[in-house]
Structure 1
Amino acid sequence: MLTRSELGRVVEANWDRQLQWLQSLTSFPSERGQEAACQDWIARSFSDRGWVVDRYALSDVSMEHLPGYSPAVDVDYENAIQVIGALRAPNPCGKSLILQGHVDVVPPGPSDMWTDGPYAALVRDGKLFARGACDMKAGVCAMVFALDALREAGFLPGSDVFVQTVTEEESTGNGALSTLARGYRADACLIPEPTQQNILRASLGVMWFRLSVRGTPAHVAESEQGTSAILSTFHLINALEEFTLQLNERVQRHPWFSKLSSPIKFNPGKIRGGDWASSTPAWCELDCRIAVLPGLSLDAFRQEITEVVNKAAANDPFLANTPPQIIWNGFQAEDYVLEPGTDFETAMRNAHAAVTGQPAKEILFTGVTDCRFYGRYYGIPALCYGAKGSQIHGFDEHVDLDSVRQTTMVIADFVQRWCGLRRI
């Protein structure tokens, strides 16, 4: 087994190349529906390493019948490219592994509100700034260069490793699901999301839905003769915020998520409506995100949301006769918990301790990760462990480069513990 100093030496020797790779990766504006160029670049990078590459589009895979599938949101899956690099061991001597990361990023917002622009990928004060630098292209970089470090030291993993870069993590998770539908399996899955170098044990489920609300148009000079779909929508928002307070009271009975303060988050994230500034708006659409109460089925949770919306609509003079439509699109995701005691977690903790000299801490997440697909539906234990950073989904998102270097070492050490090593 390679020692900490040996791993540190090979990671450091590759560091300039690794940083350049990360800067190239984060310079791609791989927003939803625009990830293909980034994925093609990754596919070439994997092929250059001698890995067997499987590049495919989500439209090539049948997933609608599978547990965990979420309905797509306003995107063409023919351009949603996924990439898998396979390192096969002819005579496995350890356990197999999936290393998975997503390359899709959320929209950056107004570019002029970034110090250097969202895709400048500049380094300042030991940090790399770019949309997706922290969430989670630094993790993708760390998992790739962890394997490079082992190779630099003269070794390959002793068992099969599948390096996966997926899309749709920020909206449905269907990228991760597609890899399983395509038949890829392993004894564990490590996803280097930015956990501040903590072990992410559990994440909540998330549900997206769109409220489609109607109104009656009228000239604003006679607004009392019309109704405002936008104002009616805010009435529904208030009802859902009150529902969220009730959910946070109910979650206090959960063995894991009760440890968090107000873990159920509701966000009215995107609104559009109306046709003319001098007409009362005849329509409004609101895209919402809410955490799913753990332990409740998705069907039961959808029914509760429907009841909240219908009750609020019944108290609105116009909506009572013209009820809003609820469209379930995007995330329909259940919670996931990796229970303590797995050999997988033990190996991850040992790798962290060996590299950092400190015991690993664990965290719970009020958002969602792709871990649920592997652990909840396919019996593959999964956890997240990744670098430190800040401003995820915000302006001037950045990742701490020292933590990227250290995370690369931790993943390399974990791979040798979990998969074993074979000499080149």
Structure 2
Amino acid sequence: MPVDDTFRSDLRAAIEARRDQALQRLHRLVSADTTLGKEQAGQEIMAGIFTEMGLAVETFDVDVDAIRDRSGFSPPVHQDYTNRPNVIARHVPKGRAQGRSLIFNGHIDVVPPGEAELWTTPAFSPSERNGRLYGRGAGDMKSGLVAYCLAYEALRDLGYAPAAPVMFQSVIEEECTGNGALACVARGYRADAAIIPEPFQQTIMTSQLGVMWVTLRILGKPAHVLEASVGVSAITAAYMLFDGLRELEEDWNRPENRHPEFTTNPHPVNFNLGRIEGGDWGSTVACSATMLVRVGFYPGTSLKSVKSAIEANVAATKAKHPGLANIGIEISYRGFQAEGCTIDPNAPFMQVLSAAHRQAVGSEPQRLASTATTDVRFLALYGDTPATCYGPIGGSYHGIDEWVSIDSILSVGEVLALFAAEWCGLEKA
């Protein structure tokens, strides 16, 4: 059926009618602590929502042996995948598929909330203030999971369903490896297009950086503080090595070294010292230290070349500082080993998504070159499925008082429903 003004008006009303239900679902999801290793509670909620939607549901644990030799695999930071399932739901059209197939993908995992006393309200006790819902994962990206469910159910409320297969994926470990999404690819899940409703302010993503997690373990020379000069502090050495890496970061941000997608961003490549620990006694020069560094890099850059650049930089920093001559340095790679990727803005599914945004929002969509990584890379690079991100408006992701705009969840649901109607076609439900 054609998507005309009457259909769009009815769809918007159907979306609005489900506002309370959408908010209730988001409250339930945000209330579930789904930090690394604890994802099951949130996945049980998602399985229940999918069942409420009348969809066939399956769950499976990530099988590391089935993915460790595949492109895109990242060495796990949490070794046990037991009871940390991916959840998949499927819509199958009643008759012979008429349109193009679709995957809606999203991640259930969230990052740790940080210090509890900094939050206005507890991170896992969602609260609504001034049109926003606050809580860890409210934006990144449990609101996106709610939005893609809302899109499907609003179409059903109008008496329609997609005329092509639609798969809903709720995956784990997007925040550290992406192995949840890779496991879906390894099981052969494919579609003609995929959308991940990451909270990118209702922009359409056209590229994303690669990301690598690098662990450096430094062995210094312990000594009593009364003769501290004969020792070498591993903690001090760690900071010196990171300062060296910042020089590499600066070099990659130089205009002449940038990827064409990132020329307008003032500082696209970021190296982050996200975690450091070391030492064993307040009056002892620190014997050892370990730091975890997140390294961003451009699409088209190989993981091998990134590792070579990091290792050469560390060696050069050590050689430049006589005080580092006798320290030991071990470099290892766990967590993100994620290539960057680009998406053709003129691809058919991108054009349909742009049109859906114009119809629902009334303006031309903005394009986003993301300086983060998302699970889009698995679908686009290894899963034979063109993919992008389009999701709600929010803020303070990975920070304090993370939030999402409630109205934007409904708006995204409307855009995704319009996209599905055009991309998949519609049949009578």
User: CA 1:25 to 1:250, structure 2 compared with 1: closer, same or farther past 3 Å?
Assistant: same
SS in 1 for 2:113: coil
CA contact (8 A) 1:100 1:166 kept: yes
Question: Of the candidates 151, 157, 169, which is equivalent to residue 174 of structure 2?
Answer: 169
Question: Of the candidates 278, 284, 289, which is equivalent to residue 289 of structure 2?
Answer: 284
Percent of pairs with identical residues? 40
What displacement does 1:47 show?
A: 2.1
The question of 1:263 aligning with 2:268 is answered yes
Q: Which amino acid aligns with 2:372?
A: G
The question of 1:25 aligning with 2:29 is answered yes
For residues 188 and 382 of structure 2, the distance between their equivalents in structure 1, rounded to whole angstroms, comes to: 13
What residue is the counterpart of 2:355 in the other structure?
Answer: 350
What displacement does 1:314 show?
A: 2.2
Identify which range, 180-189 or 311-320, moves more after superposition.
311-320
What residue is the counterpart of 2:124 in the other structure?
Answer: 119
CA contact (8 A) 1:313 1:324 kept: no
User: After the TM superposition, which residues 124-135 of structure 1 pair with which residues of structure 2 at under 5 Å, given as runs?
Assistant: 124-135=129-140
What displacement does 1:224 show?
A: 1.5
User: After the TM superposition, which residues 2-401 of structure 1 pair with which residues of structure 2 at under 5 Å, given as runs?
Assistant: 2=3, 3-59=7-63, 62-89=66-93, 90-249=95-254, 252-317=257-322, 319-401=324-406
For residues 68 and 404 of structure 1, the distance between their equivalents in structure 2, rounded to whole angstroms, comes to: 30
SS in 1 for 2:392: coil
For residues 397 and 419 of structure 1, the distance between their equivalents in structure 2, rounded to whole angstroms, comes to: 34
Q: Give TM-score scaled by structure 2 length.
A: 0.96
For residues 252 and 312 of structure 1, the distance between their equivalents in structure 2, rounded to whole angstroms, comes to: 21
What displacement does 1:179 show?
A: 0.5
Q: Give TM-score scaled by structure 1 length.
A: 0.97
What displacement does 1:60 show?
A: 6.8
Q: Which amino acid aligns with 2:85?
A: I
The question of 1:422 aligning with 2:424 is answered no
For residues 210 and 254 of structure 1, the distance between their equivalents in structure 2, rounded to whole angstroms, comes to: 26
Identify which range, 375-384 or 22-31, moves more after superposition.
375-384
For residues 258 and 78 of structure 2, the distance between their equivalents in structure 1, rounded to whole angstroms, comes to: 37
Q: Which amino acid aligns with 1:367?
A: A
SS in 1 for 2:98: coil
For residues 112 and 321 of structure 1, the distance between their equivalents in structure 2, rounded to whole angstroms, comes to: 41
Q: Which amino acid aligns with 1:159?
A: A
CA contact (8 A) 1:252 1:258 kept: no
For residues 121 and 184 of structure 1, the distance between their equivalents in structure 2, rounded to whole angstroms, comes to: 33
Question: Of the candidates 401, 408, 421, which is equivalent to residue 403 of structure 1?
Answer: 408
User: CA 1:251 to 1:127, structure 2 compared with 1: closer, same or farther past 3 Å?
Assistant: farther
Question: What are the ranges of 5 or more consecutive residues in structure 2 without an aligned counterpart?
Answer: none
CA contact (8 A) 1:145 1:408 kept: yes
Deviations 1:298-356 (A, max 9, x none): 10110110000111122344543443110111111111110221110011011111111
CA contact (8 A) 1:138 1:404 kept: yes
Identify which range, 185-194 or 241-250, moves more after superposition.
241-250
SS in 1 for 2:58: strand
SS in 2 for 1:369: coil
Deviations 1:237-263 (A, max 9, x none): 110001111111266452212232221
Q: Which amino acid aligns with 2:56?
A: V
CA contact (8 A) 2:200 2:389 kept: yes
For residues 80 and 329 of structure 1, the distance between their equivalents in structure 2, rounded to whole angstroms, comes to: 19
CA contact (8 A) 2:193 2:349 kept: yes
User: CA 1:297 to 1:251, structure 2 compared with 1: closer, same or farther past 3 Å?
Assistant: farther
CA contact (8 A) 1:251 1:257 kept: no
For residues 253 and 226 of structure 1, the distance between their equivalents in structure 2, rounded to whole angstroms, comes to: 41
SS in 2 for 1:406: helix
What displacement does 1:80 show?
A: 2.5
For residues 379 and 31 of structure 1, the distance between their equivalents in structure 2, rounded to whole angstroms, comes to: 30
User: CA 1:190 to 1:61, structure 2 compared with 1: closer, same or farther past 3 Å?
Assistant: farther
The question of 1:413 aligning with 2:415 is answered no
For residues 313 and 22 of structure 2, the distance between their equivalents in structure 1, rounded to whole angstroms, comes to: 50
Tell me how large the CA RMSD over aligned residues is. Answer: 1.4
For residues 63 and 38 of structure 2, the distance between their equivalents in structure 1, rounded to whole angstroms, comes to: 15
Q: Which amino acid aligns with 1:69?
A: F
Question: What are the ranges of 5 or more consecutive residues in structure 1 without an aligned counterpart?
Answer: none
SS in 2 for 1:383: strand
User: CA 1:223 to 1:110, structure 2 compared with 1: closer, same or farther past 3 Å?
Assistant: same
CA contact (8 A) 1:215 1:318 kept: no
